[in-house]
Structure 1
Amino acid sequence: MPFKLSIAFIGTYFLLILFSTSSLAQAKVQEPAVVNLRSTHASIEWETDQLTTSHIEYGKSQKLEQIEKEEKTTHHHRLHLGHLLPDTLYYFKIVSFDVNKKKTQSSLYTFHTEPLPNPIKPQLKITTLPHASTLSPTQATITWKTNQPATSLVQYGLKNASPKTDQDEVETTIHIVLLEKLLPGERYFYQVRSKDMGGQWAKSNYASFLTPSSKGKEAELSIVEGPVIALLKTNATQIEFKTNRPCKSHLMWGKVPMPSFQEKKIISSEWIENHKVELSSLKENTRYYYKIYLEDRSGKKSKTEVFSFKTSF
Structure 2
Amino acid sequence: MSEHVLGVIGGSGVYDIEGLDGAEWTSVETPWGDPSDHVLCGVLDGLPVRFLPRHGRGHVQTPSSINYRANIDALKRLGCTDVLSVSACGSLKEELPPGRFVVVDQFIDRTVARERSFFGPGCVAHVSMAHPVSRWLGDRCEDALKELEIAYQRGGTYLVMEGPQFSTAAESALYRSWGCDVIGMTNMPEAKLAREAELRYATVAMVTDYDCWHPDHDHVDVAMVVKTLLDNADKARALVKRVAATLTGPTSPDDGCDEALENALITHPDKRDPAMTAKLDAVAGRVLGG
Say whether the fold is shared (TM-score over 0.5). Answer: no
Place the TM-score, normalised by the shorter chain, in its bin: under 0.3
Relative to total residues, which structure has the larger helix share, 1 or 2? 2
Q: Which has the higher contact order (CA 8 A, sep 6+)?
A: 2
Q: TM-score, normalised by structure 1?
A: 0.25
TM-score (norm 2): 0.26
The structure with the largest strand share of the pair is 1
